[in-house]
Structure 1
Amino acid sequence: MLIILLYFFIAIVFIQLFYYLGIFGKFAFGKPQDVKPKNVPVSVIVCAKNEEENVKKFIPLLAEQNYPDFEIVLIDDASSDETLEVFEEFEQKYQNIRLVKVENNEAFWGNKKYALTLGIKAAKKEYLLFTDADCYPTSKEWITTMASQFTTEKTIVLGYGGYEKIENSLLNKIIRFETVLTAVQYFSWAKAGLPYMGVGRNLAYKKDEFFNVNGFIDHIQVRSGDDDLFINQAANKSNTTISYTPESFTYSNPKESYKDWFTQKRRHVSTAEHYKFFDKFQLGLFFVSQLFFFLLVIILLAFQFQWIAVAAILATRYTVVWTVIGFSAGKLKENDIKIWFPVLEIVLIITQINIFITNIFSKPVYWK
């Protein structure tokens, strides 16, 4: 029985090495990205619901972008606080701001996709750049760097949306590690010609791409997924690229309690259930390989079965994975998580198991 487990362990490690070297290495070891300004017309789209304090801070950062041809489409999704009033003040202050007021609709109650659809239709520019109301760009060149990746063929650009660093917080490191790992996955699969998701905190596409797939209609009943489900449907090898220069990043305020972050991740996992079969398969295989890797290591070492061989395989796996994660984290300016990687990986796997089990017995809460 133990020899069978050893062979299974070796197979699991080969699967892990395939992911980290064969797929994730495409991003980790890729060349630095060139930025050649395109100056295409851009509509920056921000959908907000009860985000009064965030929009006060972050909308001016969008309005002050160093870009020759852009507008900002602010969508107030029936907020009950002062978000709409703040938007109206910005509309008066900045000439390139367009305001979309969304009233509650019984058929689309609380559905962000409905509000975004109205905003997209109101946008006057050919290219759309999305971020969330609680996000801000790292530089005044955000639009320039994201738009620079558009070409005649590449009409979808996947960007990186990170989270602010909180010193001496293990939870914050876990959140940022999970964000980096997710970004490495969708960046790498996009580079491999199999894009499957993007994040609404930093995402751009040509307006035609939205109408080519009839917008969100095929997954309108799914309350989340205005970003990843849309990309899962619309993106392909020919039309999708990525942007990962530091000037193109956006950042958000991270959750400060494990409960809030856990609830957020439950929504993300439940949305992934609607991905295409191959995308669900590759994500599932990656998670299963991580889980069985640790289980088999514990069993084989506990019985001291071929422990020298097991230790050598373990060291090889960690050397490869740590290197790939290290290079990737460096590109995404998340260098401090490199040291904590072994601990963060185990905590994340335990959290993911908890999420899957919890989602079986209850449905997560979606848009506000």
Structure 2
Amino acid sequence: MLLILLCVFIAVVFIQLIYYVLIFGKFAYAKPQKSTPKRIPVSVIVCAKNEEDHVREFVPMLATQDYPDFEIVLIDDASSDGTLDLFEEFEKQYANVRLVKVENNEAFWGNKKFAMTLGIKAAKKPYLLFTDADCRPQSNQWIMEMTSHFTQTKTIVLGYGAYDKLPGFLNKLIRFETLLTAVQYFSWAKIGKPYMGVGRNLAYKKEEFFNVNGFIDHMKIRSGDDDLFINQAATAANTAICWAKEGVTYSEPKKTWKEWFRQKRRHVSTAKHYKSFDKFQLGLFYTVQLSFFPLFAVLLAFQFQWIIVVSIIAFRYLFTWLTIGLAAGKLKEKDTIYFFPIMEIVLIWAQLNIFISNIFSKPVHWK
């Protein structure tokens, strides 16, 4: 039995080697990006529901972007606070602000995709750049950097949506999880199998939205205006990625474990609607991640071929740490990997609990 466990353990580490070196290495070991400014007409789309405190500072940041041809489409999704009042003030203040007012609709109650659809249809520019109401661009070159990756064939650009650096272990865990997620979807996009993006920083040509009939195939699924759309519309031929510093957005991270757990339940719940291959590769990755720890614990507890086991463990941490470390350097998240082994164990445990929780109850979605 122990010999069988050792063989399984070796297989698990070998699969991890494939993921971290051959797949994630496509991004981690990639050369710095070179971009050429395009100056194409862009509609920046922001959907907000009860975000009064955030949009007060956020919209002026957008309005000062250094870009020659852009409009800002502000979507108020039936807010009950002062969000709409602020949007109306911004519409008067800035000539390039367009306001879309969404009222509660019985058929699409609380459905962000309905509000997003109205905003996209109202947009006047052929290229769309999305972010959230609680985000802020890293620099006034955000639009310039994200749009620079469009070409005649590349009509979807996946960006990086980072979180603010704050004190505490939870903050590092949130940013480590965000880093690992970005490494995955950037790497698979470079391989030619894009499967998701994040609405905090995402761009695509307007015609891509209509090519797949918008969100119609998953309108009843409350989440997924970003990742489910990309899972459906993105291909090897039409997708590019952007990780340059000037093209990053930052958001406020959750400050309590309960809030973060609730947020991740919403995110994870959409993955079951991905294409079959994407569900398989994600499931396999998390299975071998989870299996690694109990397998080496049992083998070491019985001291079975312990020199071989310890050598394999050391080799595994060498290639995982190196890959994630290089990726963290690209995305300015190096401080999240100082305690990589601890972060990894806590994150795997949290993901297991999220998966179990989603089996027994549905997560809460758009506000």
TM-score (norm 2): 1.00
1:26-66 alpha-carbon deviations (Å, 9 max, x no partner)? 00000000121000100000000000000001111111000
Residue in 2 that maps onto 1:268: 267
Range with bigger deviation, 178-187 or 334-343: 334-343
Check if 1:118 corresponds to 2:118.
Answer: yes
Check if 1:154 corresponds to 2:154.
Answer: yes
1:280-334 alpha-carbon deviations (Å, 9 max, x no partner)? 0000000000011111011101111000000000000000000000000110001
Alignment root-mean-square deviation, CA: 0.4
Q: Distance in 2 between matches of 1:199 and 1:59?
A: 20
User: What amino acid is aligned across from residue 93 of structure 2 in structure 1?
Assistant: K
Q: In the TM superposition, what is the alpha-carbon distance from 1:128 to its structure 2 partner?
A: 0.1
Check if 1:290 corresponds to 2:289.
Answer: yes
Q: Distance in 2 between matches of 1:332 and 1:297?
A: 31
User: What amino acid is aligned across from residue 85 of structure 2 in structure 1?
Assistant: E
Q: 1:59-70 to 2 correspondence within 5 Å?
A: 59-70=59-70
Q: In the TM superposition, what is the alpha-carbon distance from 1:170 to its structure 2 partner?
A: 0.2
User: What amino acid is aligned across from residue 197 of structure 1 in structure 2?
Assistant: M
Q: In the TM superposition, what is the alpha-carbon distance from 1:344 to its structure 2 partner?
A: 0.4
Q: 1:291-330 to 2 correspondence within 5 Å?
A: 291-330=290-329
Residue in 1 that maps onto 2:248: 249
Q: In the TM superposition, what is the alpha-carbon distance from 1:348 to its structure 2 partner?
A: 0.1
Check if 1:93 corresponds to 2:93.
Answer: yes
Equivalent residue of 1:273, what SS?
helix
Q: Distance in 2 between matches of 1:215 and 1:359?
A: 26
User: How many residue pairs are counted as aligned between the two chains?
Assistant: 367
Residue in 2 that maps onto 1:16: 16
Equivalent residue of 2:339, what SS?
helix
1:245-299 alpha-carbon deviations (Å, 9 max, x no partner)? 0000001000000000000000111111100000000000000000111110111
Q: Distance in 1 between matches of 2:14 and 2:44?
A: 43
Residue in 2 that maps onto 1:221: 220
Q: Distance in 1 between matches of 2:138 and 2:207?
A: 28
TM-score (norm 1): 0.99
Q: Distance in 2 between matches of 1:344 and 1:63?
A: 38
Runs of 5+ unmatched residues, structure 2: none
Q: Distance in 2 between matches of 1:277 and 1:53?
A: 40
Q: 1:98-177 to 2 correspondence within 5 Å?
A: 98-167=98-167, 169-177=168-176
Q: Which runs of 4+ in 1 moved over 4 A?
A: none
Equivalent residue of 2:33, what SS?
coil
1:77-102 alpha-carbon deviations (Å, 9 max, x no partner)? 00000000000111111100000000
Q: Distance in 2 between matches of 1:269 and 1:306?
A: 38
Residue in 2 that maps onto 1:357: 356
User: What amino acid is aligned across from residue 171 of structure 2 in structure 1?
Assistant: N
